[in-house]
Amino acid sequence: MGLVRQADAPLRGLNTFGIDARARLLWRLESLDDLPQLCEALRDDAGKGQAQPPLILGGGSNLLIADDPQQPIVQMALRGLRIVHEVGDAVIIEAAAGEAWDPLVRWTLSQGLAGLENLALIPGTVGAAPIQNIGAYGVELRDHFESLDAVDLGSGTGRSFDARDCAFGYRDSVFKHAGAARWLVTSVRLRLSRTADLKLDYGEIRAELAEACIVAPTATDVADAVSRIRRRKLPDPAVIGNAGSFFKNPLIEAEQATALATREPGLPCWPSGDQVKVSAAWMIERCGFKGMRVGHAGVHERHALVLVNHGHAGGGEILALASRIRDAVATRFGIRLEAEPVVVGAPQL
Ligand code: EPU
């Protein structure tokens, strides 16, 4: 198809929050062959005084558009899935950045490859997965990450990043930090296995398998169980706009966690290295926000960590509710919540 350029492009269908914003300029990249042309067009645009680096859009599932973005937007639409290397049980697969994540998980399972089953049904694209080191049910992308290819949109040159280069953290990587906006991830390689090493200890996975009378689960059984749990707890963006968890679970010092757990009995805490991760959903619920609605913005009734768009919420409305939540949690618990999605068109929360 080539490189598609659209001025004054509607964004409602391109972000899972369903925010009705417009892009000054949107490029859709469907082939690697068009990268030089894209880089040149972006340089041209920058030459006309648009100093902001472009915004890369995958599935738009970890994004809150607070105002019409003025920077150019690049919609990543590169496709392709393949097995690149196989030694014994270990298999390296490569997926183009524009592939949708959940279909990739299902494709790996159909190839007899285990590893991504706990990450089933996460919205978004392959290219976005390493940016925030997606994670769920005790597994993170970094556990199976091999390397990725990216292109510097400023110079047009490409390079590979291994796990060390990516500096993965909890919902974090080098690509979320200053100066990294110039990198366009084009493909990701993952390390999987023909022998399943199932991670069943998080939350409700075992109960869900027992409920389905499965005693010797396969990787596909686990993916199915995770998908059922997610469908039950998390709203489907196709039905009600949202970006999954709106806040990260805060990491605090062990001493502070002990004091807090004494004062606030029942607060879910998980050890995480030297620190302790505490449940943001629980704190938000205790502050009375679960199910709350303010205009078109709201907090989901089944999960307090998920902010939702009940129809025509502007990004500013969602952001205002997020600020109220953050202030209430800070006042009661003395903890500052950090937003998980990228906020465009306004300062980060
Ligand atoms: N909880 C509440 N109230 C609620 C929801 C949950 O008190 O409304 C409590 C639960 O009782 C539980 C604890 O909070 O004890 C944790 O809940 P849950 O298992 O739903 O996980 P989470 O910590 O809220 C994280 C990820 C999710 C991921 C799940 C499962 C973050 C920010 N979120 O949520 O990821 O699916 O664990 O692994 O780490 C996402 O990143 O968008 C996302 C959905």
Nearest 5°: the CA angle 53, 55, 58 is 150
Residue 237's pLDDT is: 94
State the chain's mean pLDDT as an integer.
95
Query: Is residue 217 very low, low, confident or very high in pLDDT (cuts 50, 70, 90)?
Result: very high
Average pLDDT over residues 288-300: 98
Q: Can you tell me the distance from the alpha carbon of 245 to that of 236, in angstroms, rounded to the nearest whole number?
A: 13
DSSP state string for 328-345: HHHHHHS----B-SEEES
Average pLDDT over residues 158-164: 97
Find the helix or strand (DSSP H, E) in which 39 lies: helix 35-47
Q: Which fold has domain 81-233?
A: 3.30.465
- What are the pLDDT digits (tens) for 163-216? 999 999 999 999 998 778 789 999 999 999 999 999 999 879 999 999 999 999
Residue 102's pLDDT is: 98
Closest residue by Cα to atom 11, ligand 1, is 282
Residue 299's pLDDT is: 98
Residue 56's pLDDT is: 94
User: Would you give the DSSP letter of residue 179?
Assistant: T
Nearest atom of ligand 1 to the alpha carbon of 204: 19
What does CATH list as the number for 3-76? Answer: 3.30.43.10
Q: What is the pTM of this model?
A: 0.95
Q: Which fold has domain 241-344?
A: 3.90.78
Annotated domain spans of the chain: 3-76, 81-233, 241-344
Nearest atom of ligand 1 to the alpha carbon of 134: 41
Q: Is 246 in the pocket of ligand 1 (CB under 6 A)?
A: no
- What are the pLDDT digits (tens) for 54-103? 999 999 999 999 999 989 999 999 999 999 999 999 999 999 999 999 99
Q: Is 248 in the pocket of ligand 1 (CB under 6 A)?
A: yes
User: Would you give the DSSP letter of residue 14?
Assistant: G
Residue 281's CB: how many other CB atoms inside 10 A?
Answer: 20
Radius of gyration, alpha carbons of the chain: 21
